[in-house]
Structure 1
Amino acid sequence: MGAALRPSLPVRWSFPRRWLSLLSGAAVTTGLFLILGPAPFLDGLARITPTCLVVAGLIAIVSTVAAAWRWAVIARALGLQLGLSTAVLACYRSQLLNTILPGGVLGDVHRGLSHGQSQHNRARGLQAVFWERTSGQVVQLGLAVLALLVLPSPLRRWWVLVALGVAVLAMVVVLTALRRRTDPSGFRWWPAVLFGSSIAVIGHVATFLLAARTAGVQRPWFELVPLAMLVLVAMAIPANVAGWGAREGAAASVFAAAGLPAAAGVATATVYGVMVAVAALPGAAVLLTGIARRPEPERATAPETEPAADRERVREEVSVRG
């Protein structure tokens, strides 16, 4: 395959932000070690079985396909060609890179650049990934509010609902403002994105519930779902070291607020982290073979005409919103 279709892994992530993410994730993990000791981490690792990893991998297939379909719908709305099979392979690759690289977003930046370069429009490729990730976060926040309102939970407190509601409103305002500047499709893809995002979130929650059961947490599923939703929201914060940090800190805090041992939250997050890492392993084959980099069989879009400043702005948006 020609050199033009082999983009290097993007490193346009500012030095202070990269180190802030790494230091934040390391600080949270170190703090948990100092407060709770290594026992919750080791207990979670000891409870992992091949069966739970296989089940988590099967759930991940559904979630990955749903997210890939969401991305393909948005990419096509923005005038790019993207088949579902290529999108699925690229999503597996980006999941692996997000898992092993700091910040949790570089895999998605690479996904946008790679697809955009194959379509001769890198800025639009990054734009599609930015909309895909941001719209998914909006749906996830909305579902978190719904779960807290509908399901019985000790976390159903006014300040939690207000905080999540404000977050949803802020995300909607940002999306609306950015649409006027960058999105020519007029959000016609929202019904499909809502469906695909809901399936993906259900898959993530199911994996979290499986992790909780594996870690020995014996609470009804309807009590654990709101906890899972809040931890998933916190996981979007790019403050981690290879995925570790914000997830475990959020799980410890949320479990403690719900009257459960913080150690149980850390053990659950540890199991979840291993499940996600193993489920992303197919991305290694994609990364090594480069099969997701082949150009789409359909007609490619015209060469990019966006000025360099626009490309830089969209790249920065994807990096920040991941």
Structure 2
Amino acid sequence: MRPGTRRVLGWVLRAAVSALVLAAVAVAVGGQALRDGTAVLSPGPVLLAVALGLGFRALAAARWLVVARALGAPLGPLQAWAEYLRSELLNQVLPGAVLGDVDRARRHGKDVGLLPAARAVALERVVGHAVLVLAVVVVLLRRPDLLGAADGADGRTVAVLVVAGAVAVLVGVLLWQPWRRTGGARGLPPALVPALLAAAGLSVGVLACAVTLFVVAARATGTVAPLGDVVPAVLVVLVLAGVPLTVAGWGAREAGAALCFAAVGLPAAAGVSAAVGFGLLSAVAALPGLVPLLLPRLPSPAGTQPAGAAAIT
């Protein structure tokens, strides 16, 4: 099968999965919950979404920049921001929500080599996911009662913790694997450890922007519950929405929101409406990516590799 045909088939299959799951959600909670999600398309939420989206991408681009530079893959601030805007727009419309990142690595690789560029993109995304998983684990361990409000929620709590633990192990493997052929930890460039710490701090800001956007969607669609109930549910939903089996998280996000909102004692329909609103606002927030998509690519800055980078290039 040709690569182009395979990509089209993958998009069609993921779109079908999204449509089927959304249909199942509509049957379970009512189609009105999906329609209520469109309430976010008003000036206030849209402007907040654009502002949060720009902040989200700026922080994420800074995370990519510090990791890339530590790996000996020069990257300028403006280039990083423009390329991140572009990749996030592509992630919204292409299957799996990762092809924008693949494209970002490919484009950066034209200047620094594909392997260092791919490692930088993979590592900065892994750090972001690790922070999200850690946040979910901490919240559930500190507030297990929040998932004990619905029947059977205790079992779901255990399941979520098991899945989170498995993901945490996978993150550790991903962090280790790229360096195994370079002599293990001794092959790590000295600049990488502080870069990863900085990336983790920036990831907290990225996560805060995403959670805030979901809360904006929840408020715009009528959820007035305390943040102490909403935020833990939102964090779990964000983990579920990241499963690359749908298009831009559609379907998985709404099904997860229905379960998570019910688990903390909120209406499942309210979770679906908030998730639909979040999806729409996320698409709006990605629209500034049209600018770098249409403009020529900015080249990476010239410069020497930082100390220790030669060990992994």
TM-score bin (small chain): 0.7 to 0.9
Distance apart, 1:254 and its partner CA:
1.2
Corresponding position: 1:27 with 2:20: yes
Q: Counterpart of 1:299?
A: 303
Q: 1:254 aligns to what? A: 260
Counterparts of 1:1-322 in structure 2 under 5 Å?
18=11, 20-119=13-112, 121-151=113-143, 153-155=145-147, 157=154, 159=158, 160-181=160-181, 184-185=188-189, 187-188=192-193, 189-290=195-296, 293-299=297-303
What is the Cα deviation at residue 165 of structure 1?
Answer: 2.8
1:183-228 Cα deviation digits (max 9, x unpaired): 7436422211110111101111111111111111111111111111
Residue of structure 2 in register with 1:311 after alignment: none
For residue 153 of structure 1, report the CA deviation from its aligned partner.
Answer: 4.8
Per the TM alignment, residue 128 of structure 1 is displaced from its structure 2 partner at its CA by 1.2
- TM-score of the aligned structures, taking structure 2 as reference length: 0.84
CA RMSD of aligned residues (A): 2.4
Measured in 1, the distance between the counterparts of 2:137 and 2:248 equals 28
Q: CA 1:242 to 1:231, structure 2 compared with 1: closer, same or farther past 3 Å?
A: closer
User: Deviation per CA, 1:243-276, whole angstroms, max 9, x where unpaired?
Assistant: 4221112111211222222211110011111111
Residue 311 of structure 2: aligned partner: none
How far, CA to CA, are the matches of 1:254 and 1:80 in structure 2?
40
Contact 1:211 1:268 in 2 (8 A): yes
Secondary structure of residue in 2 paired with 1:103: helix
Deviation at 1:45, TM superposition (A): 0.4
CA distance in 1, matches of 2:188, 2:5: 26
Secondary structure of the residue that 1:51 maps to in structure 2?
A: helix
TM-score by length of 1: 0.82
Residue ranges of structure 1 left out of the alignment (5+ in a row): 1-9, 302-322
Separation of aligned partners in 1, 2:14 and 2:115: 25
CA shift for structure 1 position 172: 1.6
> Counterpart of 1:244 in 2: which secondary structure?
coil
Deviations 1:121-147 (A, max 9, x none): 122212211111112111110011112
In the alignment, the residues of structure 2 paired with residue 215 and residue 269 of structure 1 have an alpha-carbon distance, to the nearest angstrom, of 10
In the superposition, relative to structure 1, how do residues 261 and 287 fare at CA in structure 2: closer, same or farther (>3 Å)?
Answer: same
Cα pair 1:22 1:103 within 8 Å, conserved: no
Instruction: For residue 12 of structure 1, report the CA deviation from its aligned partner.
Output: 9.8
Identity percentage of aligned residues: 38
Structure with greater helix percent:
2
Answer yes or no: is the 8 Å Cα contact 2:75–2:301 preserved in 1.
no
Counterpart AA for 2:173: V
CA contact (8 A) 2:240 2:252 kept: yes
Shift of 1:233: 0.7
Q: Residue 38 and residue 21 in structure 1: after superposition, are their counterparts in 2 closer, same or farther (change >3 A)?
A: same
Q: Note closer, same or farther for the CA distance 1:13–1:176 as it changes in structure 2 (3 Å cut).
A: farther
Check whether the contact 1:153–1:223 (CA below 8 A) recurs between aligned residues.
Answer: no
Give the match's secondary structure for 1:296. coil
Post-superposition CA distance 1:50-94 (Å, at most 9, x none): 111111221222221111111111111111110121111111111
